[in-house]
Amino acid sequence: VPVNAPGVRLYPRRPFALQATNAFDYPLSSRFDESDSYVVFDNVFVPWERVFIYRNIQLSREQWFKTPSHALGNHQAQVRYVTKLRFMIGLAQRMNEMTGNVGNPAVQTLMGELAALVSVYETMLLAHETVGRIDDKGVLWPSVTTLYSAMALQSELNGRMLETIRELTGSAMITLPSSLKDFENPETAGDIERYMRWPRAGGRERVKLLKLLWDALGSEFGSRHLQYEMFYAGEPSAIQGREFRSFDWAAAEALVDHCLAGYDANSP
Ligand SMILES: Cc1cc2nc3c(=O)[nH]c(=O)nc-3n(C[C@H](O)[C@H](O)[C@H](O)COP(=O)(O)OP(=O)(O)OC[C@H]3O[C@@H](n4cnc5c(N)ncnc54)[C@H](O)[C@@H]3O)c2cc1C
C-alpha cells in the first residue's frame, strides 16, 4: 500500500539526526538513525492482490510458527545483536587501552564478565544453527529453544552489559567539549590537548572515542537502542512464554523419574 494512500497516516517520533550537527560529535545519530513510526490505517483501500490473509486467525498465526519465519526473523536479529555486542565490547576495550587501565585486575574482572556474556550470545547464535534442523525441502529451521532462551535473557543481560561499560567509563563521557568547533580555536584546542588527554591517547583521539561511546550508550540514539533491545521482539514475558512452550520438559522430568525410581522406603 503506498504511504500516501488516503487514510494512511504516519506518526514518526522526533528524528535524532536533526540535533546531530556533525559526525564527529554524533557519529551514530547523524548517520544511522532508524526512524520509528506509529502507523494508522483509517479505512484504507487495499487491493485484493495485496491481501495475503483475510479473516483467518489460524492462518495468520500459523504463518509464523508452521513455517520457519518467526525463527528466521529472530535469528537474523540475533546475528545483528551479536555484531553490535562485539562492537560495544570493542569500544570498552579500546577505552581501557587508551586510559592504560587494561592491565588493572579490577578492570579485567569487569571486562572478563562482559566477555563471558558476549561469548554466551556468540555461541548461542551458533547453537541456533547447529541444534536446528533441515526440513525435507532443504530449509534450515533454527532451534527455537536456543533462540528463545537467548532472546528471553536479552532485556536483562543487555542492560547489565551497558551498565558495566558505563561503570568503566565514569564521568568521562560527560566532561567533553560541546562540539567540534572547540578544536578550531587554538586556545580551546590547546586546552583539550593539554587537559583532556589520556595516558595513551591525545585529546582529540580521546574526545573522538568518548563521543562515540556516548552516542552508543547515552544520547537519545543510544537510549533508544537500550529500549529497542528490551522490547523489539515484544514484551519479555511473551518471549519467556515461547521458551516455556518449546523447552524439552520431558527430558528434564525423565531424569527426575529415573532418580525417584532408584530408591524407596526400603532402600538403604
Ligand atoms: C525502539 C523500538 C523499535 C521497535 N521496532 C519495531 C519494528 O520495527 N517492528 C515491529 O514489529 N516491532 C517493533 N518494536 C516492537 C513493538 O513496538 C512492540 O512489540 C509493540 O509496540 C508492543 O505493543 P503492545 O501494545 O503489546 O505493548 P506496548 O506498546 O509496550 O504498550 C504497553 C502499554 O501498557 C502500559 N502498561 C504497562 N504496565 C501496565 C499496568 N500494570 N497497568 C496499565 N498499563 C500498563 C504501558 O505503559 C504501555 O502503554 C519496536 C520496539 C521498540 C522499543
Pocket lining: 231 vs ligand 1, CB cutoff 6 Å: yes
Contacts 24+ apart (CB under 8 A), 26-34: 26/211, 26/215, 26/219, 26/221, 27/211, 27/212, 27/215, 28/212, 28/215, 28/216, 28/219, 28/221, 28/222, 29/215, 29/219, 29/220, 29/221, 32/221, 33/221
- Residue 133 φ/ψ, nearest 5 degrees: -130, 155
Largest CA distance in the chain: 89
Rounded to an integer, what distance in angstroms lies between the CA atom of residue 76 and that of residue 231? 16
pLDDT tens digits for range 78-102: 999 999 999 999 999 999 999 999 9
pLDDT grade for 19, boundaries at 50, 70 and 90: confident
Q: Which residue is associated with the grid cell 567539549?
A: 177
Pocket lining: 224 vs ligand 1, CB cutoff 6 Å: yes
Measured in Å, residue 25 CA sits from the centre of ligand 1 at 31
Contact 117, 160 (CB under 8 A): yes
Give pLDDT, residue 193: 96
Contact 192, 203 (CB under 8 A): yes
DSSP-derived 3-state class of residue 38:
strand
CA torsion sign for 19, 89, 197, 184 is negative
Pocket lining: 232 vs ligand 1, CB cutoff 6 Å: yes
Ligand 1 atom nearest residue 230's Cα: 53
Contact 6, 44 (CB under 8 A): yes
Measured in Å, residue 228 CA sits from the centre of ligand 1 at 10
- Which of 70, 231, 239 for mutating ligand 1's site (highest number of atoms within 8 Å of CB)? 231
Give pLDDT, residue 130: 96
**pLDDT mean over 15-32:** 94
Give pLDDT, residue 239: 95
Pocket lining: 227 vs ligand 1, CB cutoff 6 Å: yes
Measured in Å, residue 19 CA sits from the centre of ligand 1 at 26
pLDDT grade for 146, boundaries at 50, 70 and 90: very high
Grid cell listed for 62: 500459523
Ligand 1 atom nearest residue 225's Cα: 1
Q: Does residue 25 have a pLDDT over 90?
A: yes
Pocket lining: 234 vs ligand 1, CB cutoff 6 Å: yes
- On the 0-12 / 13-18 / 19+ scale of CB atoms within 10 A, 241 is middle
Measured in Å, residue 39 CA sits from the centre of ligand 1 at 14
CA torsion sign for 174, 175, 178, 183 is negative
Q: Which residues pair with 11 in a beta bridge?
A: 38
Ligand 1 atom nearest residue 224's Cα: 1
Measured in Å, residue 133 CA sits from the centre of ligand 1 at 32
- Which of 10, 14, 16, 36 for mutating ligand 1's site (highest number of atoms within 8 Å of CB)? 36
Contact 71, 141 (CB under 8 A): yes
Q: Percentage of the chain surpassing pLDDT 90?
A: 97
Contact 25, 179 (CB under 8 A): yes
Q: Whose CA is closest to atom 37 on ligand 1?
A: 235
Measured in Å, residue 196 CA sits from the centre of ligand 1 at 41
Q: Percentage of the chain surpassing pLDDT 70?
A: 100
Pocket lining: 64 vs ligand 1, CB cutoff 6 Å: no
